[in-house]
Copies of this chain bind each other. A is one copy, B any other.
């Protein structure tokens, strides 16, 4: 499993992904699920993947190779005229890879499916954030739905629903993401540290802070321990139920 979240804030985008991949509980590894491209001054694109690792790695490799090949550079992440066209390109590539595997008659215990979160900004337009389905089509984040999650989304959703605010600072957004990831990691073996973090500040047209948060990261420990205590205090602050009869 996997857990990735992309937030669309008023002043930029924040991406976080875990690194746990597994084929059964006895076969686990660490893989980066976040990839970024930048053309300073013009465009920044960040992509996170959930699903079959062979599929998602093939998608990234294909996107990379096309950028290096001389011909047909217009349909690459570095040349596409808008984030919408980048999303189409990525969606098409994803669908091709999945179809390739299925058409060749491969069979597996799991499907070859994958889902992708894509965000970034290209000069001339606002930052945009997309959720791309295995079928290659996609939806875009909006004021009503300003964040997307992929992978193991349920455990970490309630805190996003309650505490997300598009005007929050990057520092607060990272705190929110760490609480959401910590709740997921505590409940599910398929999601684990280290976590990759990528920040993009609107109209900067360069990658912002890029970090990897390790298990021993003191701030993560502060949040993980502190959140348990803060939750208990929050819980105690509410009035207890009282039985009318009994």
Which residues from chain A sit less than 8 Å from chain B, CB to CB?
154-159, 161-163, 169-172, 174-176, 178-179, 183, 186-187, 199, 208-209, 211, 219, 222-223, 226-228, 230-235, 237-246
Provide the bound-state CA to CA distance between A175 and B236, in Å.
Answer: 10
Query: How many monomers of this chain does the complex have?
Result: 2
CA distance A179 to B186 in the complex (A): 18
- 16 example contacts (A-B, Cβ-Cβ < 8 A) are as follows A154-B155, A154-B187, A155-B155, A157-B187, A158-B187, A161-B187, A172-B241, A174-B240, A175-B239, A176-B235, A178-B241, A179-B235, A209-B245, A211-B244, A226-B239, A230-B237
Q: When the two chains form their complex, are residues B232 and A227 in contact, meaning their CB atoms are under 8 A apart?
A: no
- On whether the beta carbons of A222 and B243 are closer than 8 Å, the reply is no
- Provide the bound-state CA to CA distance between A161 and B187, in Å: 8
A233 with B234: CB separation less than 8 A: yes
Of A211, A222, A238, A244, most buried by chain B (CB within 10 Å of CB) is: A238
Look across to chain B and name the residue whose beta carbon is closest to the beta carbon of A183.
B158
CB atoms of A241 and B228 under 8 A apart:
no
Q: Give chain B nearest CB distance to A239 CB in angstroms.
A: 6
Whether A243 and B170, one on each chain, are in contact in the complex, defined by CB atoms closer than 8 angstroms, is yes
A238 and B226: CB pair below 8 A? yes
- Report the bound CA distance from A159 to B209 in whole Å: 31
